[in-house]
Amino acid sequence: MNILIVEDETALAEAVEHILRKAGHNTDRVADGQSALDYIRLGAYDLILLDIMLPKLDGLTVLRQLRSEGAQTPVLMLTARTTVPDKVAGLNAGADDYLTKPFDPEELLARVGAMTRRKGTMVLNEISFQDLTLDLNAVTLRRGSRDVQLSPKEFALARLMLSEPSMTYSKDLLISRAWGLDSEATDNNVEAYISFLRKKLRYLGSKVSIRNLQKIGYRLEVAP
Ligand code: CA
């Protein structure tokens, strides 16, 4: 499973990452609520481990925001708080389960395993726009009976643009979402991957293309 760990206590986050990776999961790790939202909107996560007390945006705000955007990804709240009102607030905000800190590795893996089994149809597996379907599990872009495999960056860009197809995306925005805010990616990287993605759209014969708006950014365009 692809799991996002949202935890600002570095030692704990590293320990959790170690346990999950040893158990065969892929993990990403962020330490504040705003980065969590950025990553979740972009990444194809099967599960989110979400701390409540976080810098920038707290965990409950992140969770409410996600659910209000329609994201169905299962969320396991990590909380040092043991009081009932906080748990109720978390459940109301759309959490699927709780783990109270400190917890032991066995307990963590048991909960993660239970949430995977429960997952079922909760996760949205595809994004469709016009004649295109982006398969979030297979990481492929499809049109009719034709499909192409996407690289991780192509996938990130396609996912972003197809999720909000009417939006104009500046290069800075694409870098921050697809590469991360602390990355050293430049406009050249964006241009390269947009050009790869265009080739794949042409291969598929899609009506959708990526238009370059000079000095502004990119926008999806649909041929009549
Ligand atoms: Ca915390």
Expressed in angstroms and rounded, the spacing between residue 12 Cα and the centre of ligand 1 is 10
Expressed in angstroms and rounded, the spacing between residue 133 Cα and the centre of ligand 1 is 37
Helix (H) or strand (E) holding 154: helix 152-163
Expressed in angstroms and rounded, the spacing between residue 57 Cα and the centre of ligand 1 is 11
CB 92 within 8 A of CB 61: no
Dihedral Cα 139, 72, 106, 32, nearest 10 deg: 90
Task: Give the pLDDT score at 30.
Answer: 96
Q: φ, ψ for residue 147 (rounded to 5)?
A: -140, 160
Q: Which of 57, 72, 111, 80 is nearest to 9 (CA)?
A: 80
Expressed in angstroms and rounded, the spacing between residue 2 Cα and the centre of ligand 1 is 21
Expressed in angstroms and rounded, the spacing between residue 162 Cα and the centre of ligand 1 is 33
Expressed in angstroms and rounded, the spacing between residue 59 Cα and the centre of ligand 1 is 9
Domains of the chain (ranges; CATH) run: 2-118 (3.40.50.2300), 126-222 (1.10.10.10)
Q: What is the pLDDT along the chain (224 residues), one digit of tens a residue?
A: 889 999 999 999 999 999 999 988 889 999 999 999 999 988 778 899 999 889 999 999 999 998 888 788 889 988 876 656 666 677 777 788 888 888 888 889 888 887 766 544 334 578 888 999 998 888 899 999 999 999 989 998 998 898 888 889 999 889 888 887 677 888 999 999 999 999 999 999 999 999 999 889 999 999 98
Expressed in angstroms and rounded, the spacing between residue 58 Cα and the centre of ligand 1 is 9
Task: Give the pLDDT score at 117.
Answer: 64
Q: φ, ψ for residue 71 (rounded to 5)?
A: -70, 130
DSSP category for residue 71 = -
Give the strands of the sheet with 217-222, arranged side by side. Answer: 168-169, 217-222, 208-213
Sorted by sequence, the CB contacts under 8 Å of residue 204 that are 6+ apart come out as: 132, 141, 142, 143, 146, 147, 148
Burial environment of residue 207 by CB neighbours within 10 A (0 to 12, 13 to 18, 19 or more): middle
E-state strands within the chain = 2-6, 26-30, 47-51, 75-79, 97-100, 126-129, 132-135, 140-143, 146-149, 168-169, 208-213, 217-222
Expressed in angstroms and rounded, the spacing between residue 8 Cα and the centre of ligand 1 is 5
Radius of gyration of the chain, Cα coordinates, nearest whole angstrom: 19
Expressed in angstroms and rounded, the spacing between residue 94 Cα and the centre of ligand 1 is 19
Task: Give the pLDDT score at 87.
Answer: 66
Expressed in angstroms and rounded, the spacing between residue 185 Cα and the centre of ligand 1 is 29
